[in-house]
Structure 1
Amino acid sequence: MPVIELKIPNLGESISNVTFSKWLKPDGSIVAMDEPLCEIETEKANQELSADSAGKLIWVAKEGEDLEIGALFAKIDTDAGEPGGSDSQSSSAAKESAPEKKEAPAEKPAAEPVATEPNYASGAPSPAAAKILAEADIKPSEINGTGRDGRITKEDALKAVDNKSNSPAPAMPEKEKAPAAPAVPATSFSREERRERLSRMRRTIAKRLVSAKNNTAMLTTFNEVDMSGVMALREKYQEAFVKKYGIKLGFMSIFAKACAKVLLEMPEVNAFIDGDDIIYHEYADISIAISTPTGLVVPPVRNVESLRFSDVELAIKELSGKAREGRLTLEEMSGGTFTITNVVVFGVDAGTPI
């Protein structure tokens, strides 16, 4: 019986282990080649792993388990066939060989008798009486009708309303009176706690924040810029921009283009230290901070210095959508020579992100 082993692939030099997030296919199910089987979580993004061959899926890894690169997570029995293959054919053959059952003719329902005269049910109010009783919140069952066959007439309804208004309201029995509210204890506030396991991404973010704080020479400066020209530019060309490119001209593309221009004019800012060397970049890959349900990610927009405003806006839109859906690849998460974080969305005037 040929069985194929599926192992965690190499996902990059910086990744040595992953968290097995969840299975996408049930244990024992028949899967097709290249069909997504499961989802794993790295320190940067979530990624799906697909079947290398068609056959019967055999689970090995457990959800929530940490696995090393190269670890076995599943097996595929290739003798089991493909989806809709032998199993479906055998079932269809069985259906063909089975004798056809003739359905018994359905019995005709008995004809309902046709009423020759209007049937006035006892205690049923006339339309006018029903309206009066509904407005007075009186049930028809509480009234004896004097009309034909006990039908409640308008006069019966008016009399019932008159009797209700003249009768005194019944006193509440002693035992049905609302009990006094209990005294509020001095310690009525909650003391409960909840413990949740951090995702691999959030664990990595926490470690990187501490590492950056301890190992980086951080300097914060603030400056104000007159944005009236940018505001006028957006107001003047916004409608034409949307009509031509299908997306609004935002501030982020303008900030990114301005930063890219300055980074190429000041290469020391567009560089980083690697051991005893300093690496200068002749391009500007601007990372845009994006908040997602699983954490903050900073995918870069490549070669911003060579892009148009529309190209930057469309790239940011695509990366944001993938980030919030957890579909960013490791390649889309790596690199970046400069990062822009828009903290104004959190209701602040300025911030110092790490």
Structure 2
Amino acid sequence: MSAPAGPGPIRLGPMTKASTADQRRGEVLRAIVADFISTQEPVGSKALVERHSLGVSSATVRNDMAVLESEGFITQQHASSGRIPTEKAYRVFVDGIHRIKPLSAPERRAILRFLEEGVDMADVLRRSVQLLAQLTRQVAVAQLPDLRRGRVKHCEVVKLAPSRLLLVLITDTGQVDQRNVDLTAPLPDDDVPRLRDLINSTLVGHTLDDASAEIAAMASGEDLRVPPELKDAALACATVLVETMLERSNDRLMIAGTPNIVRVGELEGVLDALEEQVVVLRLLSGVRDLGVSVTIGEENTPAELQSATVVSTGYGSRDEILGGMGVLGPTYLDYPGTISSVHAVAHYVSRILAGE
């Protein structure tokens, strides 16, 4: 699991190596974070002693909490209340998660079964965010990959009307994209297969970017392979393909679980970012590998997300990341469970898209 550089191990006081007291304070801090995540209520020393086997008295725990507070790991809302963790504490807590919590075999089977029912890439990703929102009780997001990055497996040409066609692009990543093409004149039925073969001879086995020169030649009427009777239809289809290449098709976001964030008052800015999508898409576009990344509060560069935690990862393969997906929630979310869920769902999405 990767994460931005945090404050590192807790070092409380001028000591050259971790003392027993230093280790104990680390345990107290982890207990405070765990309890606050569980209850969202300030945590007191008495509750810590009762709930956790710390092996010390309430007075010792109070002293440890005072030191933790002076170091900026916990804070007190009111003089008589317990303590709540700061973002610094959450970072230490996350950095201390050395192993991703494994899902049970029934959980893994249920995830795979649900995702495998997807009919295409968009449906698989739609199911993935629905599943993540259900598993984590937070907002789940997934970025559709850029259509231009997949190699075309087939382009189907369907005649919808005498002067209207439907192009259906199918890529090796499982992505399906449909485009309407309006013609200047009716196309005879016998010419539809010929046009399909012509387009496929240009596209199959190539990305749209790789085939851009051939598509441009077809759109300009300079492709010598195009017979005169197909010239107008080929030009219209190629023009649509050029428009497809110019679009930022990765600027499409799947979102599920928005009601989960509405109930958290401090996340109103996150809700605005989700509605505009640009901020979240920029964040997911920065995903570069299959490792799980956790950014907490002010670690998130977009100001709109600085009240939230983002748990994200890529999907695809180590050689090619197709897009990013993840979960947005409050800073007190269930980190072990959320990290595990994001990791598992992305793993199975990657397997399905690879045909495994």
Q: Same fold (TM over 0.5)?
A: no
Query: TM-score, normalised to structure 1's length?
Result: 0.18
Larger Rg: 1
Larger RCO: 1 or 2 (CA < 8 Å, sep 6+): 2
